[in-house]
Amino acid sequence: MTFQDIFKSSFLENIQGVSLLDMALALVLAFGVGLFIFLIYKKTFSGVMYSSSFGVTLVALTMITTLVILAVTSNVVLSLGMVGALSIVRFRTAIKEPLDIAFLFWAIAAGIVLAAGLIPLAVFGSVAIGLVLLVFVNKKPHLNPYMVVLRCQGHESETAAVSFLQERVRRMVIKSKTAQEGLVELNLEVRLQGSDTDFVNTLAALPGVTSAVLVSYNGDYMG
């Protein structure tokens, strides 16, 4: 039997299309799961600028994936055509936050599982993933690393400022140091003992300290 004989036979006639009830149920569930993914993304976002369009994209991506998989599972000819069509699609949008990739794959996976009819897996799996993200992403702010940019007028003021800072933070690591005539600049990574940042005011008021800046640090670091 050749490839053409397969499509000339009654194989295609035995394929049952997706019923309207199943299609409506799958799309409604996809919208609900996509909305849940969007809310988790909004709750756990920790970047610089929040993009509302990306959140809407997660909802749409879940529904679109469900729609595509429903079409693929209902018609073998259509599935072959979609494989060829989707293979030439290229996306050039840059992903700025690594966590955004996890949300994209989550939306796609949820759409595939819903279209396959594994509704409990899609619902309970999404809830479990959402809880994991809420626990690990939304940590207390004082546990996150901060950078202290310190400017001192000499070695004595530098030593006094560093000693004062070591007593006020949980952990301190010197990242860089720039020394010029009459000026020493330090970049230090610190872990706060609590949410209180008033020690920066006292640090800036020490003799010989010209400025002290505390900024949030979202780069890679060793725990």
Domain range list for the chain? 3-137, 141-216
pTM confidence score:
0.62
Q: What is the pLDDT of residues 53-105, one digit of tens each?
A: 888 889 999 998 888 888 777 665 555 556 555 555 565 666 777 788 889 89
Instruction: Provide the phi-psi class of 146: left if phi over 0, else alpha when psi is between -120 and 50, else beta.
Output: beta
Give the pLDDT score at 131: 92
Domain 141-216 has what CATH class?
alpha beta
Is residue 77 within 8 Å of 28, Cβ to Cβ? no
Write down the H helix ranges in the chain.
Answer: 3-8, 20-44, 52-74, 76-86, 98-115, 119-137, 155-168, 199-204
Q: What is the pLDDT of residues 12-38, one digit of tens each?
A: 444 455 677 878 888 899 999 999 999
Q: Quote the mean pLDDT of the chain.
A: 78
Q: Is the pLDDT of residue 197 over 70?
A: yes
Place of tokens 């756990």: 44
Is residue 126 within 8 Å of 36, Cβ to Cβ? yes
Give the pLDDT score at 15: 47
Cα four-point dihedral sign 93, 98, 103, 105: positive
**CA–CA distance from 6 to each of 42, 72, 79, 81, 83 (Å)?**
49, 18, 15, 16, 19
Amino acid letter for position 123? V
Q: Is the pLDDT of residue 222 over 50?
A: no
For the chain, what percent of residues have pLDDT higher than 70? 74
For the chain, what percent of residues have pLDDT higher than 90? 12
